Structure 1
Amino acid sequence: MKITQVRLGRLSVPLRVPFKTALRTVNSVEDIVVELHTDTGAIGYGEAPPTGPITGDTAGGIMGAIRELIAPVILNQEVDDFEALTARVQKAGVHNTSAKAAVDMALWDLYGQLHHIPVHKLLGGARRTLVTDITISVNPPEEMARDALDAVARGYDCLKVKVGADPALDTARLAAVRKAVGDDVCIRIDANQAWTPRQAVRILNEMQDKGLALELVEQPVPAADLEGLAYVTRNSWVPVMADESVFSPADAMKIFQNRAADYINIKLMKCGGITNALRIAAAAEVYGVECMIGCMLEAKIAVNAAVELACARSIITRVDLDGPVLCSVDPIQGGARFDERLITVSDDPGLGIHGIDPSYFFEKK
């Protein structure tokens, strides 16, 4: 099986409700899709969202990196020369992790199809089902309480609540959510780098003093401030998860070696795809640090690739893969089944993606 063509398109899917964090507000998923065509007729699918505030990647940048840097090093290459192919992708220029992630997952898709095996079984096959949390966007406290109640009514028992846009309101937001859903629902929060280290410790300990019973806080301080992250980890009564601080296996090793966080969040768009995500998971296994598998605001192709990884590695103990259920429709044919909080991986070869509804997919060339 030889790669004969790299085709790019844009995927546009409206969200059920606006997605709001401390960094941005989004109304629709606007992703770049890559198709790797082969001489056998098999197609490998990948996807990348332009998440500039986090990865620095724009839609034009992703498409340009794939066309100008990555496509030339994989065209006319044999898929079975897999290790060399994935290495070429990672070495094709610096940064551009989202572009690399899209092509990397498409290569894994093709490799699984070539050998007639699902990617999660190629990677280890630890389980077939996952349970995800769902994100509650930053809004006034009463609106967040209503959104939380709606999520619980839909069957979710773990909420990822966005905070940080207005630190003075954060405790009130969480108190409203906790009062609305009761004590049996897990609440984890994500500050998206919004606080200083001392501010984070004060806010988090105040929240626990008020009986909010938070499971963890994700990325409370700026990504580059590892010393500040470690300070929060040492002094907060809430366990700390590193997210934007972990883009690469080397970043993860720094976190582990300095005990700068209790957990880490693996995202394919940050690390460049499944290949590097596996390396991060392997390092986490060595250090005994549990991981979350997360996503940006992505449709099902990219999230499906993360599902395949999460189903393969038991060090991934927490799941934040709600992108497809935040969308108003699912235009992706095949792949994992998302039934609200319950995700079931596909047993079809590769990633199990069969196609895309053309109503949501355009500029394909």
Structure 2
Amino acid sequence: MRITELRLGTLSIPLKKPFKTALRSTDTVTTNIVALVSDTGAVGYGEAPPTAAITGDTDGSITCTLATRIAPALIGRDVSELQDAVSAVAHSAVGNTSAKAAADIALHDLWGKLCGQPLYRLWGGTKRTFTTDYTISLNAPEEMARDAAEAVRDGYDALKIKVGIDFRLDMERIGAVRRAVGPEILLRVDANQGWTPKEAIRTIRYMEDEGLDIELVEQPVASHDIEGLKRVTDAVETAILADESVYSPRDALRLISLRAADMLNIKLMKSGGLSGALTICGMAESAGMECMIGAMMESKVSVTAAAHLAMARRVVTKYDLDPPILCASDPVRGGVIYDGAVLELNDAPGLGIDSVEGVAWGESVKG
């Protein structure tokens, strides 16, 4: 099976309600879809959303990298030589992790179809179902409390609370959510780099002193401030999860070596795809450090890839894959199946995706 074409398209999916964090706000999932076509007619799907506030990747940089750097490196390659192909993607350009992730995911999808097995099984996984948390966007405390109570009524027992713009107001937000949902609901707090180390320590200690029972706090300080992240981790009892501070295996090695965080959040758009994510999983497992699997605002294409990874690696113990739940519609036929908070993988080869509807297909690079 050889790659004969790389097709690029765009996809837009409205959200049920605006998604707000300390870094950005959006009411639509906009993403770039990649289709790798083989000489057998099999198609591998990948995607790359533009998340300039986090990865630095824009629509322009993604499509340019895929068309001019990655496509020439892949056209004509044998899918069975997966490691050579993913290495070619990884070395096609500096940075551009989202574009690389799209191609890497599509390559693995084709490889799974060549082997006739779903990816999670090819990696040794046996479990097919898990539950995701649900994200509560950053708003006024009373609105966040209402949203949290609604999510609990809908059956979610783990919530991710977005904070990070005003650490004093964040204390009110977290307290309001806890009072609204009661003591049994799992709460995770995500500051999206919004605090200084001192603010983070003060806020987290407040949560501890108030008995708010927060499971973890995600990326409390700026991504580059590894020393500040370690200060926070060492100063509080609550578990600290690194997100924007960990992209590559090299980043993971530094965090693990310094023990600058208690856990790592793996996202395919940061790691450059499944290959980099698998390496980070191995490093974390060797260090005895648990991982969360997360996503940007993405469609079910790349979220399905993340779900396969999650079911293949026991070091992934926490799941934050709710973006498709936040969407008003699902244009992806096949892939991971959502039943409220419960996600289930199908047993179709590769990602198990048949097609993606509503894509505006544009540039095509052929051999």
State the TM-score bracket (shorter-chain normalisation).
Answer: over 0.9
Aligned to 2:122: 122
CA distance in 2, matches of 1:93, 1:266: 21
Aligned to 1:92: 92
Aligned to 1:238: 238
- Pairing 1:40–2:74 present: no
CA distance in 1, matches of 2:308, 2:346: 8
Q: Which amino acid aligns with 2:245?
A: S
How far is 1:167 from its partner? 1.4
Aligned to 1:362: 360
How far is 1:126 from its partner? 4.0
**8 Å CA contact 1:126, 1:314 repeated in 2:** no
How far is 1:28 from its partner? 0.3
Aligned to 2:82: 82
**Percentage identity across paired residues of the two chains:** 51
**8 Å CA contact 1:126, 1:313 repeated in 2:** no
**8 Å CA contact 1:101, 1:272 repeated in 2:** yes
**8 Å CA contact 2:7, 2:361 repeated in 1:** no
Aligned residues: 363
**Structure 1: stretches of 5+ with no match in the other structure:** none
Aligned to 1:30: 30
When structure 1 is superposed on structure 2, of 191-200 and 119-128 the one drifting more is: 119-128
Superposed CA offset, 1:91-137 (max 9, x none): 00100000000000000000000010001111121411111001000
Divergent runs of 4+, >3 A:
none
How far is 1:198 from its partner? 1.1
1:167-316 paired onto structure 2 within 5 Å: 167-316=167-316
1:48-87 paired onto structure 2 within 5 Å: 48-87=48-87
- Pairing 1:320–2:323 present: no
- Pairing 1:150–2:150 present: yes
Aligned to 2:108: 108
CA distance in 2, matches of 1:103, 1:280: 19
**8 Å CA contact 1:45, 1:105 repeated in 2:** yes
How far is 1:363 from its partner? 3.7
Q: Secondary structure at the match of 1:307?
A: helix
Superposed CA offset, 1:58-77 (max 9, x none): 01110110001100000011
Q: Secondary structure at the match of 1:364?
A: strand
CA distance in 2, matches of 1:340, 1:29: 20
**8 Å CA contact 2:34, 2:46 repeated in 1:** yes
Q: Which amino acid aligns with 2:40?
A: T
Structure 1 length-normalised TM: 0.98
Give the superposed CA RMSD: 0.7
Q: Secondary structure at the match of 1:329?
A: coil
**8 Å CA contact 1:134, 1:160 repeated in 2:** yes
CA distance in 2, matches of 1:143, 1:153: 15
How far is 1:196 from its partner? 0.8
Superposed CA offset, 1:247-301 (max 9, x none): 0001001111101000010000001000010000000110000000000010100
CA distance in 2, matches of 1:46, 1:150: 33
Q: Secondary structure at the match of 2:362?
A: coil
Structure 2 length-normalised TM: 0.98
How far is 1:340 from its partner? 1.8
Q: Which amino acid aligns with 2:362?
A: K
CA distance in 2, matches of 1:364, 1:128: 35
CA distance in 2, matches of 1:280, 1:354: 29
CA distance in 2, matches of 1:251, 1:159: 27
